[in-house]
Copies of this chain bind each other. A is one copy, B any other.
């Protein structure tokens, strides 16, 4: 097949306060009393009544609070799935993820692994999933990753950081409620928002771009500029960043990310640096490639008084550095999108090493 056949999220609600409709939306999806709904929720919301009060636990339904301090891991997914299988009498009626990119990816991965045998790391790659996932719902509480709309769930596995890309990965239901992003810390808001901005930059400047992805990318890029450079109201900024994240995710549908993501995957895997921050650290060193957009990025950094960490690779051993380079170098489609099929003529391991050294 020459052109990708992209699966979309099945249903989407948008609106401030729309999380109040959660029960009404999922009730018809309950299979029976023995098949619970299981909520995976970022543990920062454990005492947050604005969110928890919207959840009605019926029959065997329960909540698992999960820390998003670390990036999601295949072993974490496998443990969650094992626990759920042991604890429930029947396959769950649904998995509901509430949180940022980490929780979105965990909800997607758990719902896939409840119906596919083995360990989740066996499915890292493209179209390795055999069976449809359990019904899964995504409710993002921070905007930028695009995980709410993508056909991947990116996990750190025993060998690499790579997504489970499949037609069964996208959510069956997404609830976009911008009010839920109230309370996000400024740094996290900025770094995650920049994930979206960088998706657009990489997609719009890539070789794989077509009119479909370009239209989404331009829309998200414009919304990011409004959010991070203009003076708009707080609620407008919440609404617009949530839509930017959605459209930015769609802009990669027929396109691909690029050098930032290739290098930041290496950085995250070895140093455990979270994705949004990792992207910002990498992006700031890529003047050779994304010049104009990096100037814009630095304007945003300045406006919001963000202090980007420096010298994060200072104490990295040669073995670790080589692992980072391996991971980055192996993400061929990303380099192909950014530079072209002959990217290896231009990009050497030593060049990548020099970039990491500057970070």
Q: Which residues of A contact B (CB under 8 A)?
A: 1-15, 17-18, 20-21, 24-25, 167, 173, 176, 178, 210-212, 215-216, 218-219, 223, 236, 239-240, 242-243, 247, 254
A14 touches B211 (CB 8 A): yes
Q: Which residues of B contact A18 (CB under 8 A)?
A: 2-3
C-alpha gap A17/B5 in the complex (Å): 13
C-alpha gap A247/B7 in the complex (Å): 17
Tell me which of B9, B215, B247 contacts A243 (CB under 8 A): B215
Q: Top 8 A-B pairs ranked by shortest CB distance? A: A3-B15, A211-B239, A14-B212, A8-B8, A3-B18, A219-B219, A215-B243, A5-B13
Among residues of B, the one whose C-beta sits closest to the C-beta of A236 is: B211
Given A2-B15, A3-B21, A8-B9, are A223 and B215 neighbors across the interface (CB < 8 Å)?
A: yes
Least distance between A101 CB and chain B CB atoms (Å): 20
Give 10 A-B contacts (CB < 8 Å), ordered by A residue. A5-B11, A6-B12, A8-B9, A8-B10, A10-B10, A14-B254, A15-B210, A210-B239, A215-B243, A218-B219
Among residues of B, the one whose C-beta sits closest to the C-beta of A17 is: B2
Among residues of B, the one whose C-beta sits closest to the C-beta of A14 is: B212
A3 touches B11 (CB 8 A): no
Q: Which residues of B contact A5 (CB under 8 A)?
A: 11-13, 21, 25, 173
Q: Which residues of B contact A242 (CB under 8 A)?
A: 211
Among residues of B, the one whose C-beta sits closest to the C-beta of A149 is: B8
C-alpha gap A48/B7 in the complex (Å): 30
A1 touches B14 (CB 8 A): no
Given A176-B212, A219-B218, A239-B211, are A6 and B13 neighbors across the interface (CB < 8 Å)?
A: yes
A13 touches B4 (CB 8 A): yes
Q: Which residues of B contact A20 (CB under 8 A)?
A: 2
Least distance between A210 CB and chain B CB atoms (Å): 6
A14 touches B218 (CB 8 A): no
Among residues of B, the one whose C-beta sits closest to the C-beta of A8 is: B8
Q: Which residues of B contact A216 (CB under 8 A)?
A: 219
Q: Which residues of B contact A12 (CB under 8 A)?
A: 5-6, 8
Q: Which residues of B contact A173 (CB under 8 A)?
A: 5
C-alpha gap A254/B18 in the complex (Å): 13
C-alpha gap A356/B11 in the complex (Å): 39
C-alpha gap A15/B4 in the complex (Å): 9
Given A2-B17, A2-B18, A215-B247, 9 more contacts at CB 8 Å? Answer: A1-B24, A2-B15, A3-B13, A5-B12, A6-B12, A211-B239, A215-B240, A216-B219, A218-B219
A8 touches B6 (CB 8 A): no
C-alpha gap A10/B6 in the complex (Å): 8
